[in-house]
Amino acid sequence: MTDGFLLKVYVAATILLMVGMALILVRLIAGPTLYDRALAVNSFGTKIVLFLCMFSLIIGRADGVDIAILYALMNFIATVAILKFFRYRALSEPMAPLPASAKFDALRERRRNERSR
């Protein structure tokens, strides 16, 4: 009884989501800086997750939601990886530089001396 109404709402919401995805895509292509593009990729991924959930409810199968969970996790990891790569030009460096305080330098010096003994 309410299925037809809900299907209309789902389809309308999906189409509007796709309009939003197109707007984000414009920013992704035209973004002047790298960070605009990273932001657009992240936002686009969120919209893809929503699209997958909506689509799997439209077709009435639960498979799309599994992919959406995976996509939500991958999206976050990909964003952080992109940012880290473009900051350090490598993925294996530490995220923040080591603290350069005098206390820490003394500690490191002492450890180096202990190791050399």
Partner 1 sequence: MAADKAHGTQSVGVDIPWDAVLDWGLALASSGLILSGVFFVLAGALGVLRMPDFFTRMHAAGMTDTLGAEFILFGLILQTGFSQMTLKLLLVAFFLFLTSPTATHAIANAALKSGLKPQLGTYKAPDLSQIEGSSNEADSDKAGGH
Count of CB atoms situated within 10 Å of the CB of 35: 12
Residue type, 32: P
Stretch that binds partner 1, among 69-77, 100-108, 109-117 (CB under 8 A): 69-77
Is 36 near partner 1 (CB under 8 A)? yes
* 13 interacts with partner 1 by CB under 8 A: yes
State the Cα–Cα distance between residues 83 and 76, nearest whole angstrom: 11
Tokens standing for 48? 């893809």
CB of 24 to partner 1, least distance (A): 5
One-letter amino acid of 38: A
Residue 81: phi, psi to the nearest 5?
-65, -40
Q: Which of 29, 62, 100, 102 binds partner 1 (CB under 8 A)?
A: 62
User: Binding residue for partner 1 (CB under 8 A) from 11, 16, 106, 107?
Assistant: 16
Q: Does 2 bind partner 1 (CB under 8 A)?
A: yes
